[in-house]
Amino acid sequence: MPRPILATVDRAAIRHNIQHLRERSGARVWAVLKANAYGHGIERAYEGLRAADGFALLDLDEAQRVRDLGWRGPVLLLEGVFEPRDLELVSRLGLWHTVHCDEQIEMLAAHKTDQPQRVFLKLNSGMNRLGFAPHRYRSAYARLDALAQVDDITHMTHFSDSDGPRGIAHQMATFETAVEGLPGERSVSNSGATLRHAQAPAVRGDWVRPGIAVYGSSPDFPEHSAAHWGLLPTLTLSCEVLAVQSLQPGDTVGYGSTYTAQVAHRIGIVACGYADGYPRHAPGANPTADAPRTPVVVAGVRTHTVGRVSMDMICVDLSPLDAQGVAVGPGSAVVMFGASDAGSLPIDEVAHAAGTVSYELMCALAARVPTVAVG
Ligand SMILES: *Cc1c(COP(=O)(O)O)cnc(C)c1O
């Protein structure tokens, strides 16, 4: 028997989330599927992802994979090409690509093709990662527009604070000034902007680019939950109890003895560790007054981890189950995050307790975890 741990990708939930984002924004939806569809697996998730109007991704390899799956619709390279020969594959696969620097314009100018390409011209409106500075944007547009290799130019930028108090107004103002009067479609919104700000037509644009919301997680947790935004969980990590231990007061748990039982109680040992992608920093020490605990659902009852996360195992407090008289033993179902018949626990709550974000938990799902797709 394989080790009792399983990841489940819910394609129907992905489909729901994409349709919901399209209805909410009123724009066409690029489902962002970089990092192998945020850890879900492009091939596994594809039947759900197909509900999108296009796929935005980073690697040419990922673009090839969605074409191999039969996708004939738009595919956008979010960072554009990295070297001149990438443009051959761009032409062959009919990809749209981002242009964020002069070198990419030069590569295009030197590229021989009889199929003019669709490009997304990226403005650095304040994130300061990729894109043309505002004062250089219009000359980059003019250069691109003059190339026979270019068919159509969409204006694009990316927000640093769509999910937080600083907001997007300052970057929107920079964007509006830079693109004023230029023809072309627009794409500015990630998940946070799509959910929080896309009532404004300028923010909605022609295309939104949600990633994390497609995968059923809230971009602005804990301010808002995924349920608040009408999103369904798409990734579930479940496992089983391997053993039960009875602790006496003073007994410690796991490496470094970071947890000490204050009273006699039972713990369960579950088949999930950091080598499966569970965050090693998820707190499990004896809680101080307001220290977070890491939630987990065992036999349908919410409890928390105790002690350090180790490579292959985590320990969980069984006191809430024992208090309710819920039977538990080897083989009892455990939900680390997600939703299943065995219970539900938003991934955002686990990520938050561990001091990270759901993006990282999704991308961390380890190759050794068997994965199935449903829906
Ligand atoms: C990753 C990415 C997105 C999606 O971001 P989410 O926060 O996951 O919605 C959108 N646009 C660009 C350029 C990205 O790199």
- Multiple choice CATH, 11-215, 3.20.20.10, 2.40.37.10, 3.40.50.620, 3.40.50.1820: 3.20.20.10
Token pair recorded at residue 284? 């499990």
Q: Hey, is 244 helix, strand or coil?
A: strand
Which helix (H) or strand (E) segment holds residue 89: the answer is helix 86-93
Residue 152 sits at φ, ψ, to 5 deg, of -155, 140
Name every residue whose Cβ is closer than 8 Å to that of residue 316 and which is 6 or more positions away in sequence: 267, 268, 269, 270, 296, 298, 303, 304, 305, 306, 334
Q: Please choose from 124, 158, 218 the residue to mutate so as to test ligand 1's pocket, defined by most ligand atoms within 8 A of CB.
A: 158
Task: Using DSSP bridges, classify how beta strands 343-345 and 371-374 pair: parallel, antiparallel or unpaired.
Answer: unpaired
Residue 154 bridge partners (DSSP): 120
Percentage of the chain modeled with pLDDT above 70: 99
Percent of the chain with pLDDT over 90: 96
pLDDT digits (tens, 9 = 90+) for 13-45: 999 999 999 999 999 999 999 999 999 999 999
Q: Which tens digits make up the pLDDT trace of 103-154?
A: 999 999 999 998 899 999 999 999 999 999 999 999 999 999 999 999 999 9
Kind plus residue range of the DSSP H or E element containing 29 = strand 28-32
pLDDT tier for residue 289 given thresholds of 50, 70 and 90? low
67: helix, strand or coil:
helix
| pTM to 2 decimal places | 0.96
Quick check: 7 pLDDT over 80?
yes
Determine the Cα–Cα distance for residues 196 and 220; give it in Å rounded to an integer: 9
Q: How much is the pLDDT for 2?
A: 78
Which of 40, 78, 122, when mutated, tests ligand 1's pocket best, judged by the most ligand atoms within 8 Å of its CB? Answer: 78
**What mean pLDDT value characterizes the chain?**
96
Q: Ligand 1 centre and the CA of 314: distance in Å?
A: 32
Evaluate if residue 261 carries a pLDDT over 70: yes
**The residue type at 309:** V
Q: 287 pLDDT band (50/70/90 cuts)?
A: confident
Rounded Cα distance between 11 and 209, Å, is: 19
Three-point CA angle 94, 96, 101, nearest 5°:
135
Q: Are strands 117-122 and 371-374 parallel, antiparallel or unpaired?
A: unpaired
* Closest Cα to atom 15 of ligand 1: 78
For the chain, the residue count is 375
Q: In which residue are the tokens 């004939």 written? A: 72
Residue nearest to atom 8 of ligand 1 (CA): 211
Helix (H, G, I), strand (E, B) or coil at 152: strand
Determine the distance separating the centroid of ligand 1 and the alpha carbon of 210, expressed in angstroms: 6
Q: Per-residue pLDDT averaged across 280-298, rounded?
A: 88
Q: Determine whether 112 is an active site residue.
A: no
- Respond yes or no: is residue 137 known to be catalytic: no
Give the distance from CA 174 to its chain's centroid.
27
Ligand 1 atom nearest to 191, measured from its CA = 9
- Ligand 1 atom at shortest distance from the alpha carbon of 194: 9
Query: Of 209, 218, 221, 229, which is best to mutate to test ligand 1, by the most ligand atoms within 8 angstroms of its C-beta?
Result: 209
The CA 214 to ligand 1 mean position distance, Å, reads 11
235-374: CATH, from 3.30.230.10, 3.40.50.720, 4.10.320.10, 2.40.37.10: 2.40.37.10
User: In terms of DSSP bridges, do strands 28-32 and 54-57 run parallel, antiparallel, or are they unpaired?
Assistant: parallel
Answer whether 339 contacts ligand 1 (Cβ < 6 A): no
Separation of alpha carbons 78 and 240, rounded Å: 39
What does the domain layout of the chain look like in residue ranges? 11-215, 235-374
Are 185 and 155 in contact by the 8 Å Cβ rule? The answer is: yes
Identify the active-site residue in 34, 274, 278, 359.
34
Please count the other Cβ atoms lying within 10 Å of the Cβ belonging to residue 281.
13
Q: Is 212 in the pocket of ligand 1 (CB under 6 A)?
A: yes
154's CB contacts (< 8 A; 6+ apart) are: 96, 118, 119, 120, 121, 184, 185, 186, 187, 206, 207
Write out pLDDT tens, residues 185-241: 999 999 999 999 988 999 999 999 999 999 999 999 999 999 999 999 999 999 999
